[in-house]
Amino acid sequence: MTQPFLSIQGIRKTYGQVTAVKNVSLDVAKGEFMTFLGPSGSGKSTTLYILAGFQDPTDGDILLNGQSLLSTPSHKRNIGMVFQRYTLFPHLTVGENVAFPLRIRRIGQAEITERVKKALKLVRLEGFEDRKPALMSGGQQQRVALARALVYNPPVLLMDEPLSALDKKLREEIQFEIRRIHQETGVTILYVTHDQEEALRLSDRIAVFSQGEIDQIGTGQELYANPATHFVAGFIGDSNFINAEVLSSADGKAKLALPGGTVIDGVPMHAGKAGGKSASLLLRPERLSLSGMQVANGLAVTINDITFLGNNIEVSTQTGNGESLSVRLPFGHEAISSISRGDQAWLSFEPKSTHAFA
């Protein structure tokens, strides 16, 4: 094993009785785009703040190139950061904002001018040097903040929900810019967001945070196809869960009885406590097929509603014991023509592609 570029080791943070971060460990490779994804209060921002040095961990260590960062104060960590709120210095022009880290580092005026110009070019704001931040849009301000964070070539760039204050269209536009800048500069990025779509679009790998811990780390595809926990399954992609009875389980595969009596075998079983009686079965809406006629090992449901969503159709259904399941069918699917609201229908799926969580 070579030494990891950035290593977060067993970070814990408590405030009196409250534990914000329970036990977070994670390695990041040089040049990687790593996203911390999770709901608010899951510990992702606190972890980022500990990296930045705004907070000290109760326990654990952070190593950059094998050196502990914890004893280094924020201003000597040489880390870049873009914040959730607009943090440009309001009394300085855009050019002076970007020049600020360079002036602190006592770099010569000629070089400052050139590097500021380059940084503004990187974020496509050439010629904005003399503007005051207050006269710029939110998206422009965040791009200047990005330029300011990158101008001193930090090895690591932290981004704390930098786009959450922007509207959807602008957000997508800047997501694209961030990807481009990541590719152009090769900087290692740690990105915090609660938006799964943003995480999937930007990241090389995603760490899913829940209640102060990392539930799973992986690429977007891995998290979608093989969620390790119920929480990850629910957070990444669309999902249905139904209750099932565990008949037997061995080697990570389980035999389950579904409501209505259908029995399926070979379902990947996660976090199974031996002898656990009931489990939650994940059924992805886009992986269910629907038929108006009874099918073997199908799940009997009633059609509640059919909604046309452009390139696909969402069918809301209900099982015999009242659990809701939504099904997504491609536009023009043959089953649509034969069913209508209130009808009986049957859902079928590949047991291998589902997951059960005890």
Partner 1 sequence: MLLDFDKLGGLKPFLIGLTALVCLFLILPIVFIAALSFGSSQWLIFPPPSWTFKWYQMLFADPRWLWSALTSLKIAAIVTVLSVILGFLAALGLNRGSFAGREALRALFLTPMILPVVVLAVALYALFLQLGLAGTTVGFIIAHLLIALPFSIISIGNALEGFDKSIEDAAILCGASPWEARIRVTVPAVSHGIFAAAIFSFLASWDEVVLAIFMASPTLQTLPVKIWATLRQDLTPVIAAASTILIAFTILLMVLAALFRKGRKA
Partner 2 sequence: MVLSATTDGGERKIRRNGSFGYVVPALLLIAFFFIIPVLMLLMRSVLEPTPGLQNYQELLGSTTYLRVFLNTFTVAGLVTVVAVVIGFPVAWLLAIMPDKWSRLVMAIIVLSMWTNLLARTYAWMVLLQRTGVVNKMLMSLGIIDKPLALVNNLVGVTIGMTYIMLPFVILPLIGILKAIDPAILRAAALCGANKRQCFTRVLLPLSLPGIASGALMVFVMSLGYYVTPALLGGTSNMMLAELVAQFVQSLVNWGMGGAAALVLLLVTMVLYAIQLKFLNPNRAR
Interface residues toward partner 2, by CB under 8 A: 52-54, 73-81, 83-85, 87-91, 100-101, 104-105, 145, 148-149, 152
**Identity of the residue, 52 or 327, whose beta carbon is nearer to partner 1 in the bound complex:** 52
Q: Pick one of partner 1, partner 2, none as the site partner of residue 149 (Cβ within 5 to 8 A by kind).
A: partner 2
Task: For residues 201 and 16, give the distance between their C-alpha atoms in angstroms, rounded to a whole number.
Answer: 37
Residue with tokens 């210095």: 89
Q: Pick one of partner 2, partner 1, none as the site partner of residue 84 (Cβ within 5 to 8 A by kind).
A: partner 2
**To the nearest 10°, the Cα dihedral for 24, 30, 36, 42?**
20
The conformational region for residue 313 under phi > 0 = left, psi -120 to 50 = alpha, else beta, is beta
Least distance in angstroms from the C-beta of 103 to partner 2: 8
Least distance in angstroms from the C-beta of 226 to partner 1: 40
**Identity of the residue, 55 or 302, whose beta carbon is nearer to partner 1 in the bound complex:** 55
**Identity of the residue, 73 or 322, whose beta carbon is nearer to partner 1 in the bound complex:** 73
Least distance in angstroms from the C-beta of 65 to partner 1: 24
Return residues touching partner 1 (CB under 8 A).
Answer: 54-55, 74-75
Least distance in angstroms from the C-beta of 313 to partner 2: 45
Task: For residues 175 and 44, give the distance between their C-alpha atoms in angstroms, rounded to a whole number.
Answer: 19
**Identity of the residue, 75 or 121, whose beta carbon is nearer to partner 1 in the bound complex:** 75
| Whether the Cβ atoms of residue 101 and residue 153 lie closer than 8 Å to each other | no
| Whether the Cβ atoms of residue 192 and residue 161 lie closer than 8 Å to each other | yes
Please count the other Cβ atoms lying within 10 Å of the Cβ belonging to residue 255: 18
The three-state secondary structure class of 151 is coil
Q: Pick one of partner 2, partner 1, none as the site partner of residue 77 (Cβ within 5 to 8 A by kind).
A: partner 2
Least distance in angstroms from the C-beta of 160 to partner 2: 9
In sequence order, the β-bridge partners of residue 322 are: none
The number of residues making up the chain comes to: 358
**Identity of the residue, 145 or 303, whose beta carbon is nearer to partner 2 in the bound complex:** 145
